Amino acid sequence: MKYKYIQMKGHYSNILVPTDFSGQSLLALEQAYALAKLLNVEITLLHVIPEDGNFFAFGKFFIPKFRDSEQQKADYEESCEARLMQISESASRNSWIKVNHLLLKGKVHDMIVQVSKDIYARFIVMAANSSDPEHKKYIIGSNTSRVIREAPCPVLTFNGTNIREQFDTIILPLDLTKETQQKVARAIEIAKYYNSTIRVLSVLLTDENEVVTHLTEQLKQVKEFIEKRDIYTTAHIIHGDRIIGGLTSFILDYAYETDGDLIMIMTQQESNRRERFLGSNAADLISRSKISVLSVIPK
């Protein structure tokens, strides 16, 4: 397969949108339009043909396993190229944004991460859940999980059908980890772009006085710090009950009640590359959320 990287404007002038041609991934492309316009950057639409040739489908077109047929492989690659070009040209016309397209072959998550590095992507925007019908609805796709863990830039995952032109309200869940300062800084950056409100939230599943006191003081400091940057901020503590619901349920309920448009979380980059899963709370939140989630790996 012949391919070449597109000539880009310059470093950090692109948003990468991987697509498997599913409806959800095409909605993720639409979600990327507003962000691209705001940042005045281009979009690179990427499709990766898995190197194992296991199964491929888009729209009504389907080719089963083709390990033994070179002609089927070639036909499929041609069909992918035509479909990718059609989508990118239509997206450019509809959004007034330059949408480049790129077709590669390899391990899907590896190629997405590598391209994001090669084009110095500002963000990756992608569907949260697997389009494989064999997977349950609320299980984060394995490629999405790996991209979030390994990407060099923030990853915006999109789930559902409600596209946000504007992130008016950012939900910022905080705990007592050392990455709090980095998460707050990133939230301020995004809020400045969109003139957003930041709603800082902590969920306490304990009544220990020391923990409650510490977290209350921390939230007060965070709220004051953000407000000094001329951003409207609220801070709220939810005293939860493990029996009633888990951490994810409390965060999502609060996000929906306050008309949140974006949830921002920090995810840890695994030191052991054999580890293939995000933390359970992060994965659960990303897969279940009806609004976009921005995952940032602390530096």
SS3 at position 103: strand
Q: What is the pLDDT of residue 165?
A: 86
DSSP character at residue 7: P
Which one, of 174, 156, 172, 140, lies nearest residue 38 by Cα? 156
SS3 at position 291: coil
128, 159 in Cβ contact below 8 A? yes
- What is the reported pTM? 0.84
Judged against a pLDDT cut of 50, whether residue 136 lies above it is answered with no
The tens digit of pLDDT for each residue in 188-241 reads: 999 998 999 999 998 887 777 887 888 888 899 999 999 999 999 999 998 866
For the domain made up of 169-292, give the CATH fold.
Rossmann fold (3.40.50)
Q: Which residue type sits at 32?
A: A
DSSP character at residue 129: B
Residue ranges covered by each domain of the chain: 14-158, 169-292
80, 103 in Cβ contact below 8 A? yes
Tokens (6 digits) for 93: 């016309």
Please tell me the distance from the alpha carbon of residue 141 to that of residue 201, in angstroms, as a whole number: 27
Tokens (6 digits) for 226: 């953000």
DSSP character at residue 161: S
* 120-148: burial string, b at 16+ Cβ within 10 Å, e else: ebbbbbbbbbbeeeeeeeebbbebbbbbb
Q: Strands 262-266, 61-63: parallel, antiparallel or unpaired by DSSP?
A: unpaired
Tokens (6 digits) for 125: 């925007």
Alpha-carbon torsion, ordered 15, 19, 23, 24, to 10 deg? -60
For the domain made up of 14-158, give the CATH fold.
Rossmann fold (3.40.50)
Q: Which residue type sits at 48?
A: V
**Total residue count of the chain as it appears in this document:** 299
What is the average pLDDT across 50-70? 53
The tens digit of pLDDT for each residue in 80-104 reads: 999 999 999 999 999 999 999 999 9
Handedness of CA 174, 260, 94, 63 (dihedral sign): positive
Please, which pLDDT band fits residue 272 given cuts at 50, 70 and 90? Answer: very low
Tell me whether the CATH fold assigned to 14-158 matches the one assigned to 169-292.
yes
Please tell me the distance from the alpha carbon of residue 173 to that of residue 279, in angstroms, as a whole number: 15
134, 34 in Cβ contact below 8 A? no
